[in-house]
Amino acid sequence: MAGGYEDWQRVLSAAFLIPPQGPTVLFLDDSELARFRPEAENAADDLAEAVRSRLRLVDGRSMFAPIMASHRQWQRSPQLDPPPVLPVIALTVLAATRMRSDADARSTNYYLRLAQALCPGADVEAIGTLRNDLREGGAFLDVVEMWRGLHGWIEAQDGAIGASTIRDHPHLQRIGYPLSQALVRQSDRMALTRFFQALDVTPGAVPDARVIAAALDVWTAAAQNRLSEAFMRALGDADLRPLLAIVVEAHAQAWDGRVLTGEGKQRIEIRLSIDIDAWKARWLFPIPPGGPDKLAVLAPGSDREVSLTSVTGLDYYSVQGSPAVTPELLSSGLRLRGNEFTAEFPPSPVLFLSPDAQTGAWTSVPGMLPFEEHLVAISAPHVTEFRQVLSQAAVDGWRLLPQRGSVLLSGYALFQGVRFTNGGILEEALAGLPGLRRIGVTPAAIPRARLVRGLPLATSISGTHYLIGGEPDLLLPSGPDSRTATVTLDGRREQLQANGFPLELRRFISDTGRHIVDADGQELSFTTLEEGPDPSQPPGTASLGWTQDAQMSAQGHLLAVTGARVSDPSDSYPILVRRGRDESWLLHANGRTERLAETEPPVFLSSIDIELHSPCFEISAASTARWLAQRRGNRWRLTEIGSSKPNEYDLDIDVLDAWKRACRDAN
């Protein structure tokens, strides 16, 4: 084949050694080869013929000598172009992707696969001879030098074509190079960006390979996080697992912080928002890192544009043309594609939602958060089992929200006030209900041990110092199923259940100083102090105040009052009243009833191009007010006024008349 080798060198260089769109990975299987050379009847055979045209197969150990001569000549040159070995490199990766068990060989017999790839169609004797020349004869050592030369050249480009992911195997020191490129497919690379986000990978803070391997075990246990069959097989293989971990570590080091879809576009993780007071559901589109101020995506199954516009100070885009929230989209998922971004919402038979300070409503989160209150939306087939779990394991106070008059989410039940505080009891409740585990009725996955909560000190200069008595909690790596973890705290070793619930470290610490936690081999450290390193007041304290004529000033000698300017004492105090009720009243201690008029939302909200719902309005209530009574339809809600933990009651009686009669009887 005249010029075949040079043609493949150009094709492969143009395909892989280009300005970076992430780390440089030389993955190449039969389908990828066919995509590169669609005009070839069999691209793999075409590549093999091109490589054979530069070899002297009869020379055994020196079969690669002609290509090595060109390689060494390139090494003496300015090295402006990649080394002239890419067709050989590609063929060795192709052989690695074909490693599988069949009648001819075990999956670990790499050299047999390489001999078959190099001479397709050759008889068994010829393949056996070539395999022996490559392995026992040492011919493959020249290929190892080619791999090292390519790795060095990629690194010398200083990131212009991405970071090299070429790695050696700790034990299989020759074939580790092609194996390192065959383990992570394009689809795996895209999915791993979600793993890195879950792992909280940041520049300069990438976990080591051992921690990454353990984290992959946890993260891929969830069905939605399963990677390719080849990747999962390598993760469970004692020989390939260390190499896979090293390669994924290289990907993590090169990660630019963007989460990508399977198509390679930057991902916008759509969230569900439910406003109980307004009785509305809508989609939220978080602004991704480095996301543009404006972009457009297409609604599913149509050419209709959905316009997304950022709003200063908010983490969500303002949306025009968003599709309605429907049970079909909740259960089957939603995908809106754009030129560079794709917005996705996964199929969700169950959703845990948490309070969202930016919207004043409930927003979906990746999973159940221990100790936090949730609104839960769960599909009808699982409602009975979920109620069973709530009865056994949830804190009292949860309730099923009725959807009789106006159905918000057809086919889904809504449970409010759901909170789990005991991991052991929840584990027992779920033990006989594997269906709930499969759909995600478990704590959010934790792929990597981390310290959470606590009372941190000096956060501007350190993230690991805490007030004594306010030590952080430890979250152990955990997935859908609980597991036993080995934890050591300051030399004290314990076997603990990792079930998504935090371990309170303050129960085991009584002194100040540095403390070291080892969680399944991952070391974390923190320091406890009696007080912050600088107990003095922050600079600028008391530099602003009020003069005698009630003017704010920074002139210290003129200040009459330092602090807030307050109005005269008043017997009234503010309370918040829910909007959207048919009528609202204050019930006073003397039997008087006072009707409340709902005020208009703040004017500034109308100037913001985003749908914001203000769930409450504020009033000043006299000190005689005892209850807030609000009616919606035939039902009244009574809320106690003035208590730190107000009582609330739902009633079907004429509350106003009952209050007047009760006060009259009491007097």
* Structure confidence at residue 101 (pLDDT): 54
Burial 575-594 (b: 16+ CB within 10 A, else e): bebbbebeebbbbbeeeebe
Q: What is the mean pLDDT of residues 462-489?
A: 86
Q: What is the mean pLDDT of residues 343-357?
A: 94
Counting Cβ atoms within 10 Å, is residue 87 exposed (0-12), middle (13-18) or buried (19+)?
buried
370 or 482: which leads in pLDDT: 370
Backbone region of residue 257 per phi and psi (left: phi > 0; alpha: psi in -120 to 50; beta: other values): left
Regarding whether 196 and 212 lie in a shared domain, the answer is yes
Q: Enumerate residues 6+ apart whose C-beta is below 8 A from 323.
A: 283, 299, 300, 306, 329, 334, 336
* Structure confidence at residue 2 (pLDDT): 40
Tell me if 444 is assigned to some domain.
Answer: no
**Between vectors from CA 213 to CA 369 and to CA 518, what angle results, nearest 5°?**
65
Regarding whether 605 and 638 lie in a shared domain, the answer is yes
Regarding whether 59 and 13 lie in a shared domain, the answer is yes
303 or 58: which leads in pLDDT: 58
Residue-wise pLDDT tens digits, 127-146: 999 999 999 889 999 999 99
Q: What is the mean pLDDT of residues 235-264?
A: 88
Q: In the predicted model, what is the mean pLDDT of the chain?
A: 87
Burial 605-626 (b: 16+ CB within 10 A, else e): eeeeebebbebebebebeeebb
Regarding whether 134 and 13 lie in a shared domain, the answer is yes
Regarding whether 435 and 289 lie in a shared domain, the answer is yes
Residue-wise pLDDT tens digits, 402-439: 987 788 999 999 999 999 999 889 999 998 888 898 88
> Looking at the DSSP assignment, which residues form a beta bridge with residue 636?
631, 651
Regarding whether 235 and 151 lie in a shared domain, the answer is no
* Structure confidence at residue 114 (pLDDT): 94
Q: What is the largest CA-CA distance in the chain?
A: 115
Q: What is the mean pLDDT of residues 50-58?
A: 92
Regarding whether 195 and 178 lie in a shared domain, the answer is no
Residue-wise pLDDT tens digits, 494-544: 888 888 888 888 888 888 899 999 988 788 899 998 887 766 666 777 677
193 or 559: which leads in pLDDT: 193
CB 594 within 8 A of CB 629: no
* Structure confidence at residue 165 (pLDDT): 83
**Winning range, highest mean pLDDT, from 98-107, 233-242, 410-419, 643-652:** 410-419
CB 239 within 8 A of CB 170: no
* Structure confidence at residue 416 (pLDDT): 95
Q: Which residue has the tokens 């449970």?
A: 415
**Where does the pLDDT of residue 3 fall: very low under 50, low under 70, confident under 90, or very high at 90 and above?**
very low
- Rounded to whole angstroms, the Cα distance separating 13 from 84 reads 10
CB 258 within 8 A of CB 251: no
Regarding whether 462 and 396 lie in a shared domain, the answer is no
* Structure confidence at residue 203 (pLDDT): 76
Residue from 532, 400, 535, 411 nearest 466 by CA: 532
Regarding whether 324 and 214 lie in a shared domain, the answer is no
* Structure confidence at residue 317 (pLDDT): 94
Q: What is the mean pLDDT of residues 179-207?
A: 87
Which residue, of 182, 211, 241, is where some domain finishes?
182
Q: What is the mean pLDDT of residues 356-369?
A: 90
Angle, helices 423-430/383-393, rounded to nearest 10 degrees:
150
Is residue 630's pLDDT more than 90? yes
* Structure confidence at residue 564 (pLDDT): 62
Residue-wise pLDDT tens digits, 596-623: 998 877 666 665 555 556 678 888 888 8
Is residue 347's pLDDT more than 90? yes
Tell me if 259 is assigned to some domain.
Answer: no
Q: What is the mean pLDDT of residues 564-570?
A: 62
| Structural domain total, the chain | 6
374 or 453: which leads in pLDDT: 374
* Structure confidence at residue 478 (pLDDT): 83
SS3 199: coil
Regarding whether 618 and 561 lie in a shared domain, the answer is no
* Structure confidence at residue 51 (pLDDT): 94
Query: How would DSSP label each residue in 290-345?
Result: T--SEEEEEPTTS--EEEEE--TT-SB-EEESPPPP-HHHHHH-EEEE-SSEEEEE
Regarding whether 77 and 219 lie in a shared domain, the answer is no
**Where does the pLDDT of residue 569 fall: very low under 50, low under 70, confident under 90, or very high at 90 and above?**
low
Residue 270 is part of which domain span?
266-439
Which residue, of 254, 276, 310, is where some domain finishes?
254
Tell me if 260 is assigned to some domain.
Answer: no
**Where does the pLDDT of residue 345 fall: very low under 50, low under 70, confident under 90, or very high at 90 and above?**
very high
Which residue, of 201, 222, 254, is where some domain finishes?
254
Regarding whether 544 and 517 lie in a shared domain, the answer is no
SS3 213: helix
DSSP secondary structure letter of residue 205: B
- Rounded to whole angstroms, the Cα distance separating 114 from 212 reads 30
Run of H or E residues at 259: none
Residue from 546, 487, 543 nearest 520 by CA: 487
* Structure confidence at residue 633 (pLDDT): 82
Tell me if 110 is assigned to some domain.
Answer: yes
Tell me if 205 is assigned to some domain.
Answer: yes
Tell me if 58 is assigned to some domain.
Answer: yes
Tell me if 585 is assigned to some domain.
Answer: yes
Is residue 245's pLDDT more than 70? yes
Tell me if 445 is assigned to some domain.
Answer: no
Q: Does pTM top 0.75 for this prediction? A: no
Question: Which has the minimum average pLDDT: 138-152, 361-375, 393-407, 411-425?
Answer: 393-407
* Structure confidence at residue 604 (pLDDT): 61
Question: Which has the minimum average pLDDT: 19-23, 341-345, 500-504, 649-653?
Answer: 19-23
Residue-wise pLDDT tens digits, 63-115: 999 999 999 999 999 999 999 999 999 999 999 988 865 555 555 688 999 99
CB 181 within 8 A of CB 26: yes
